[in-house]
Structure 1
Amino acid sequence: MSDAKGCIKCGSTDAAQKEVAMTGTGLSKMFDVQNNQFIVVYCKNCGYSEFYNKNSSAGSNIIDFFFG
């Protein structure tokens, strides 16, 4: 296993994060209720993105996990 850090696609260490909300299925989709919240961590160089459930962990720790 490699100890390399950075984006798995391009190797860049320049990352950012955003919060997004999305609809689910069924009635929430029909009424446009955005009850699913995620933090998106993305590479500023190539755009590779990973979604993390907002309720599962703190946003600042996610970037550390994504880029090591």
Structure 2
Amino acid sequence: MEQKRYECVKCGNREYEADQFQATGGNFAKLFDIQNKKFATVSCTKCGYTELYSLKTSTGWNVLDFLIGS
């Protein structure tokens, strides 16, 4: 499988930083502060342009997040 190299669509830079974050979605999730949406980010180190990619979350992790309150 060929691996693609990153290139920023805004400035052409080839260096990036990858990270991820979680967010709430829907009224029930907001009410109980359940972070049931997960995203991966890829940010250009030169201009800061960031792409978001939705990741799947499991019901088990959502329940655990609710119980722990994180």
TM-score normalised by the chain length of structure 1: 0.67
SS of 2:30's equivalent in the other structure is: helix
1:53 equivalent in alignment to 2:54 = yes
| Equivalent position of 2:19 in the other structure | 18
| Equivalent position of 2:44 in the other structure | 43
Residue 17 of structure 1 deviates from its aligned partner by 0.7
Distance 2:31 2:46 in 1: 36
- Runs of 4+ in structure 1 off by over 3 angstroms are none
- Work out which of the two has the higher radius of gyration on C-alpha atoms and give 1 or 2: 2
Residue 30 of structure 1 deviates from its aligned partner by 1.6
Task: Render the CA deviation track for 1:7-48: whole Å, top value 9, x for unaligned.
Answer: 111110011110100000211012211010110111111111
- Supply the AA of the counterpart residue of 2:15: D
Gaps of 5+ in 1: 56-68
Relative contact order (C-alpha < 8 Å, sep 6+): which is higher?
1
Distance 2:22 2:31 in 1: 15
SS of 1:6's equivalent in the other structure is: coil
Gaps of 5+ in 2: 1-5, 57-70
Between Structure 1 and Structure 2, how many residues are aligned? 51
